[in-house]
A and B are shown apart, each in its own frame.
Chain A
């Protein structure tokens, strides 16, 4: 409980400062804009309550996209990492491509994906998976590669076959690494969903943000961002909890 105290105090302090600055029109005056364009935290809170139906529906759509895209990335990322780990040749061949996949500007290809795959969930899945795939694959691959070589030697003298070494030593060793990658991935997955929805959609928090900011409904825009952050934080916390349960031998978990 005590470790939550400090971050909580900082958040409260920042929100209070923001509230004060917005209510006294300090921000609006400094930026030379209309005061209604700068919502105070209390306005955002009001929007969170008044627009709860709209926000809830949008959040549900976005959450579905994020979960499906993330799941896709986990399956593909882990499979890819395992294949690259087992084959030196494939690793050399594909690792540069893996890095290259991250240089693709998602904002630019998102509209193309919408043209190809339509306004449904399809392009969002691809975009989210494309973003999440990288941290999961790279971390899992690192984990598989950083196994204590003495453990492998020990297993070899105990009659272990290749797949037994993989299953009993390499995979458990890599599991904490996988979770690090997955935690990074799930946080950026939410951004991916917003990009996907901006490129073309008629629902979701990204769509709501786009529509609200176009209509200068700044309080609603911020309310949607708050919900989006809460989704990311909740998913991150869920993964951290799973990590503690499943991969408790990892350095981060064991140390605490």
Chain B
């Protein structure tokens, strides 16, 4: 009953199920404006006046040292937290209704152990009141495209770390939000799987056409996956440098990350990172 051609973007079911459908159609959805954003927990200053504006469908990386406040920043952008200073707006929608415009994929995959892969991926559809059978019909073909064919009914504990992460990513994508907030999506994976997943995500992002804010402490990952990379200082986080990625998302990954452009950009990024400590 649905088009399942391999080129169809994952967003396809949104047109009939999501309130974001109308916004999506004007082609301008997903602009994020962060201005003067500050946040503190009690007396602990975590984020210090961050300004960042992101165009629709742009992929922006945030790189910073561990514990610099990256995750807090994403939670604020997601609308899970209200900032103590400054503002965040998504498509002009500021606090806190932006919770409806952003899909947040946390560091841990957070799959529900009692649900199968397909039901985990479909949970946003179920939350929107779509029946179980229909939600599965929409989701199952997408699992194939995410390299999970034959694992529809598998429980999370039967999946490998990379597979779990892909289910979590599909779940985030199926939420049908114009903005994806990815918090260290591959942080828990081994080096080889992480490389594979980066390459896979690099292939998936152009098809999805979403605004992406990717938080990571891995400079290479950010430069490889993003159009633009902002380097954050240690806590309290502020932006110390902004870099355009050299040749974003070229494949295969091994060629991309060894090119001269790329290594030069990595040098600059690492220098900025060190300078911000």
Contact = CB atoms under 8 A, between A and B. Distances in A.
Interface of A: 148, 150-151, 153-161, 164, 168-169, 172, 249, 254
**Secondary structure type dominating chain B contacts:** mixed
Contacts of B103: 157-158
A153 B72 CA distance: 13
A158 B80 contact: no
Contact of B106 (A150, A169, A249): A150
Contacts of B110: 148, 150-151, 154
B41 interface: no
Interface of B: 75, 78-80, 99-100, 102-104, 106, 108, 110, 112-114, 123-124, 126-128, 157, 171-172, 175
Contact of A156 (B80, B112, B172): B80
Nearest to B175: A158
A156 B123 CA distance: 11
Nearest to B176: A159
A150 B110 CA distance: 7
A157 B123 contact: no
Contact of A159 (B75, B112, B127): B127
Given A150-B106, A168-B123, A168-B126, A157 B175 contact: yes
Contact of A157 (B80, B112, B157): B80
A157 B99 contact: yes
Contacts of B171: 158
A155 B112 CA distance: 10
B126 A154 contact: no
Given A150-B106, A151-B112, A168-B123, A156 B175 contact: no
Contacts of B128: 159
Nearest to B181: A157
Contact of A172 (B102, B112, B124): B112
9 contacts: A154-B110, A157-B78, A157-B102, A158-B175, A159-B124, A164-B127, A168-B123, A168-B126, A168-B127
